[in-house]
Amino acid sequence: MSGQGFHVHGPHDHELEHATQGHGGSHTNGIAMFTAVIATVGALFGYMGGATQANAGLYKNNAAIKKTEASNQWNYYQAKSSKQNLSELALELAPSTRKEFYTDEIKRYKGEKAEIKVAAEKLEAESKSWDQRSDDQMHQHHRWAQATTVLQVAIAMAAIALLSKKKWLEYVMFGAGAVGVVIGGLAAMHI
């Protein structure tokens, strides 16, 4: 620029001027905005995927604990059955003065076994419930992981579209972003 009002532009000045005024830069700005939004949504989906995976592990652990408790109850049931069988044998071999004692023992063991069986079956049902909850969480985890992966593909397509300036890649980018959000919606709805 001279002092007489004559102004000379450098080769890049014209492009910078247009970019700052929004000419030609809106395309780039749109892709950048899309990338920022999809990256944020992807981060949230990634967090949810990790949370559901952790829950699935916790629930599977609870199922194993309940299964062990049920097994313990069934072992206790078996011990009572063995004692009942011994009392039944003793009843057959004992003198008549001891038969009443063994009859009462048999009744007691039958009653105890009934209570133990109820407890064992309840623990088995709880174990199955925890297993089902774990399976549900793993299914949801897979949905979150699928959504996150598709959103990462959309971000990669955005970078390629930006560099190559190919319009069809923008459509792929937007399509992948939409598919990722839909899959994330399915995960949120437990589908």
Question: What would the pLDDT profile of 140-153 be if each residue is shown by its tens digit?
Answer: 999 999 999 999 99
Q: Do you know the residue count of the chain? A: 191
| Cβ neighbours of 82 (radius 10 Å) | 11
Lowest-confidence region among 6-10, 13-17, 23-27, 49-53 = 13-17
Predicted confidence band at 34 (pLDDT cuts at 50, 70, 90)? very high
Containing H/E element for 135?
Answer: helix 96-164
End-to-end CA distance of the chain: 65
Predicted confidence band at 28 (pLDDT cuts at 50, 70, 90)? confident
Can you give the pTM of this predicted structure?
0.72
Distances from the Cα of 140 to the Cαs of 34, 64, 188, in angstroms?
26, 21, 8
pLDDT at 3 exceeding the cut of 90 = no
